[in-house]
């Protein structure tokens, strides 16, 4: 199965084509870009060309559904939905943090005090908040323990029980409270292979719903009442 993977839930733009039969992956990860809208389609064209494929060769589309900021997230999801609809192929949505945790290879890193390889995965929610979820490595793969949620950094520490490491963009690390800041930390991005691996491609696709976890930054202005000083005029 040839699967197109897209994620625009973070400041990175992730696109790739994964052949599940051979494991071949062609991928582009554009770091720290906020030009998802302008770059997404050209980047998809690049990975398809690199893989020697046309759009018609695709069998499914997988998209990250967040959590992520409204504007960036909807670019990837809308594009994925439009492509799947135009090609009459299945569209699968996956939690972006699940893909980050899988790509981070938790099993290869030190365990916490409880003997488990656990991690806090955190991304930028803006407004001085963080999107986060916690994970553990098990014999059957990576398992989500809690989240995803959106919180102030200081609030996250209260909700955690045991975490061995923090997976977070370096520019956000300064926001971590003291206990979390003292843990080993590293960066990781969702990869095309991880996005596809998280998806259950054999299942009937469920409706793809974005994980905004809060209202968008931009909201319509409230209607203002006329000032009492302005007389009503009968027309």
Query: Does 54 share its domain with 131?
Result: no
pTM: 0.87
| Predicted confidence (pLDDT) at residue 43 exceeds the cutoff of 60 | yes
* Coil vs helix vs strand at 205: coil
| Predicted confidence (pLDDT) at residue 99 exceeds the cutoff of 90 | yes
Segment 128-187, tens digit of pLDDT: 999 999 999 888 889 999 999 999 998 988 777 678 899 999 999 999 998 899 999 999
| Predicted confidence (pLDDT) at residue 123 exceeds the cutoff of 50 | yes
Contacts 24+ apart (CB under 8 A), 178-182: 180/120, 180/153, 180/156
Buried b / exposed e over 140-172, threshold 16 CB at 10 Å, is eebeebebbbbbebeebbeeeeebbbbbbbeeb
CA triple 51-54-56, angle to 5 deg: 130
Percent of the chain at pLDDT above 70? 86
Omega before residue 67 within 30° of 0, cis: yes
| Predicted confidence (pLDDT) at residue 108 exceeds the cutoff of 70 | no
Segment 49-63, tens digit of pLDDT: 999 999 999 999 999
What is the number of structural domains in the chain? 2
| CATH code of the domain in which 127 resides | 3.30.420.40
Predicted confidence at residue 216, as pLDDT, reads 52
What is the biggest distance separating any 2 CA atoms in the chain, rounded to whole angstroms?
A: 78
Mean pLDDT for 191-210 is: 96
| φ/ψ of residue 122, rounded to 5 | -135, 140
Q: Is residue 90 assigned to a domain?
A: yes
Query: Does 90 share its domain with 154?
Result: no
Q: For residue 121, what are the CA distances in angstroms to 18, 59, 216, 219?
A: 24, 30, 22, 28
| Predicted confidence (pLDDT) at residue 235 exceeds the cutoff of 90 | no
Predicted confidence at residue 226, as pLDDT, reads 44
Q: Would you state the torsion angle of the CA atoms of residues 8, 198, 102, 178, taken in this order, to the nearest 10 degrees?
A: 60
Query: Does 59 share its domain with 118?
Result: no
How confident is the prediction for the chain on average, in pLDDT? 88
Query: Does 81 share its domain with 143?
Result: no
Q: Is residue 83 assigned to a domain?
A: yes
Query: Does 45 share its domain with 71?
Result: yes
Q: Which residues pair with 62 in a beta bridge?
A: 5, 92
20 neighbors 1 (Cβ within 8 angstroms): yes
Predicted confidence at residue 110, as pLDDT, reads 54
Both tokens of 205, joined, read 């696709």
| Predicted confidence (pLDDT) at residue 117 exceeds the cutoff of 90 | no
Query: Does 161 share its domain with 117?
Result: yes
| Predicted confidence (pLDDT) at residue 68 exceeds the cutoff of 70 | yes
Both tokens of 24, joined, read 């071949």
Percent of the chain at pLDDT above 90? 69
Query: Does 181 share its domain with 194?
Result: no
How far apart are the C-alpha atoms of 114 and 111, rounded to whole Å?
8
Range of the domain at 115: 106-186
Both tokens of 170, joined, read 């370096």
Predicted confidence at residue 157, as pLDDT, reads 82
Segment 146-163, tens digit of pLDDT: 999 999 998 988 777 678
């Amino acid at each position: 199965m040839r699967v197109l993977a897209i994620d625009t839930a973070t400041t990175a733009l992730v696109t790739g084509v994964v052949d599940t039969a051979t494991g071949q992956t062609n991928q582009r990860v554009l770091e720290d870009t906020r030009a998802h809208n302008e770059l997404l389609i050209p980047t998809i064209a690049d990975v398809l060309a690199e893989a020697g494929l046309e759009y018609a060769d695709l069998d499914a589309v997988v998209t990250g559904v967040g959590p992520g900021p409204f504007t960036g997230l909807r670019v990837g999801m809308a594009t994925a939905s439009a492509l799947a609809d135009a090609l009459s192929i299945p569209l699968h949505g996956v939690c972006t943090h699940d893909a980050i945790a899988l790509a981070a290879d938790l099993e290869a890193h030190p365990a916490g005090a409880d003997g488990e390889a656990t991690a806090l995965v955190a991304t930028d929610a803006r407004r001085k908040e963080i999107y986060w979820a916690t994970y553990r490595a098990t014999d059957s793969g990576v398992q989500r323990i809690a989240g995803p949620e959106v919180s102030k950094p200081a609030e996250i520490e209260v909700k955690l029980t045991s975490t061995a490491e923090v997976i977070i963009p370096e520019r956000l690390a300064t926001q971590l409270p003291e206990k979390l800041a003292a843990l080993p930390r590293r960066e990781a991005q969702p990869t095309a292979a991880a996005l596809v691996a998280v998806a259950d491609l054999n299942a009937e696709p469920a409706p793809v719903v974005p994980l905004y976890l809060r209202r968008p930054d931009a909201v319509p202005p409230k209607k203002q009442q006329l000032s009492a000083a302005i007389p009503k005029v009968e027309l």
